A and B are shown apart, each in its own frame.
Chain A
Amino acid sequence: MIAIVDYGMGNTKSVQNAFENLGYQTIITDDHQTLREASHIILPGVGSFQAAIEEIERRQLKQLLIELAENKPFLGICLGMQLLFTEGTEGGKTAGLDLIPGTIDRIQTDYLLPHIGWNQLNVTDNLKSFQSFDQEFVYFVHTFQAYTSKRYIVATTEYQTDITAIVNKEHIYGIQFHPEKSGKVGTKIIQAFLKEVEK
């Protein structure tokens, strides 16, 4: 069973639909036991970093998520991806889950913000399952981005500056865009995550 973490921030249903359309059983939950028993942990979310951490702490999920990330395949999507990092600045400096070293800060660009729309991936890493996504379009909606070491970056997208689009550290993955809203390509990216963590 794939667990989608429910912490009151945004569109969990679309994420669930995306996995279920691939034939996986999923549950949207904030129940500690259910999360412990899950095969994969998916952390979705839209909204602000600080509000998200507050909601996670209110449900006493922070320590649990950090523990679960030690041995379970873990995928953060959009705000959920940002929460994987050390800290965020949106709404005031706030500590994240610190599963991947890095900071979440406003995108440094003269282009319009939020960065909304379909943008192309530049795959910079040689993770086998992700290479075929180079130059594919995926759907982004965000104003803040992850600043992290190149060693964790799988793909970026160009918006006058390079925006971190996919990150990976061991069995932990983060996707800044919305694979569940990115048409066929998005579905294939979810499959690529599931395939990589099977290894």
Chain B
Amino acid sequence: MIAKRIIPCLDVKEGRVVKGTNFVSLRELGYPVEMAKSYSKSGADEIVFLDISATNEGRETMMDIVEQTAKEVRVPFTVGGGVRTIDDMTRLLQAGADKVGVNSAAVTNPELITQGATRFGSQCIVVAIDAKKVGDKWHVMTHGGSKDTGIDAIKWAKEAENRGAGEILLTSVDTDGVKEGFDTPLTKAVVDTVRIPVIASGGVGAPEHFADVFSETNVSAGLAASIFHENTFTIKDVKTVCKNKGVHIRET
């Protein structure tokens, strides 16, 4: 039986891992390759890097990080952040990334999903959606969760699927950094609409939150950052809780 995936996310700024709360106030945490290596050894099913560098130097450093990670880490990893063109995708995949994440650029230019999927295969294309509750709907947010596009997030997820996305990385802007659990209603709404795997993100404060989202929705994977980086809980803690609650996970 296929296992639910536990994924640590590393936000990388100018070559160092940082973590924002509610998409702001960044703090520095450590070296990306070392952290990815240590997470993969402790049972992470995948790694996600999100490059939030503001400079060209920072983005070049990210390419080195990708190459080094491909050499040293034996689990799949995705790189997102600032992916705007097919050329950006090509460079990341050639450097050794298994998948690329597209977010804002895909909202502006949905053809990017179609072209990426045609060129590299759907399995390489992760469409990241940042969603925020507005009235009784969820809107797609861009630019690190700060800009409301007015686009319906559920419809956008479906369109991303139709254009060839292989997975959806769904972050709730409302729960991100709050540490009271994943946004179950949002996750459920997207999971019940699309027919591709969805990764839930935003809001984890305890291992139980993973078990909750896996039992309350059919989501394929859960992603978190700060609870792992701050050594509050290990990947193993999360997997133990999930297993005890009857969630099928990969034991290592």
Contact = CB atoms under 8 A, between A and B. Distances in A.
Contacts of A139: 75-76
Contacts of A159: 2
Q: Which of B45, B75, B123 has the most CB of A within 10 A?
A: B123
Contact of B3 (A46, A137, A178): A137
A116 B166 contact: yes
Interface in A131-183: 137, 139, 141-143, 158-159, 178, 180-183
A186 B167 CA distance: 23
Nearest to A110: B195
B196 A11 contact: no
A117 B98 contact: no
Contacts of B40: 183
Interface residues of A, number: 34
Interface string A36-49: 00000000001110
Given A117-B45, A158-B1, A186-B74, A137 B122 contact: no
B202 to A, nearest CB: 20
Interface in A106-135: 111-120
B121 A46 contact: yes
A46 B97 CA distance: 13
Contacts of A178: 76
A117 B122 contact: no
A14 interface: yes
B127 to A, nearest CB: 14
A156 to B, nearest CB: 13
A112 B196 contact: yes
A111 B221 CA distance: 15
A17 B251 CA distance: 24
A47 B118 CA distance: 9
B23 interface: no
B74 A113 contact: no
B166 A11 contact: no
A93 interface: no
A184 interface: yes
Q: Which of B3, B75, B96, B250 has the most CB of A within 10 A?
A: B250
Nearest to A187: B74
Contact of A117 (B5, B71, B196): B5
A14 B97 CA distance: 9
Contacts of B220: 112, 116-117
Given A178-B76, A183-B252, A186-B74, A11 B123 contact: no
B233 interface: no
B195 A113 contact: yes
A13 interface: yes
A34 to B, nearest CB: 21
A186 B45 CA distance: 13
B3 A119 contact: yes
Nearest to A13: B96
Given A139-B76, A141-B76, A159-B2, 9 more contacts: A10-B121, A14-B98, A46-B120, A114-B196, A114-B197, A117-B5, A119-B1, A181-B75, A182-B75
26 contacts: A10-B93, A11-B96, A13-B70, A13-B94, A13-B96, A14-B96, A46-B120, A46-B123, A46-B124, A111-B2, A112-B197, A114-B123, A114-B166, A114-B197, A115-B2, A117-B197, A117-B220, A119-B3, A137-B3, A141-B98, A143-B122, A159-B2, A182-B75, A183-B74, A183-B252, A186-B74
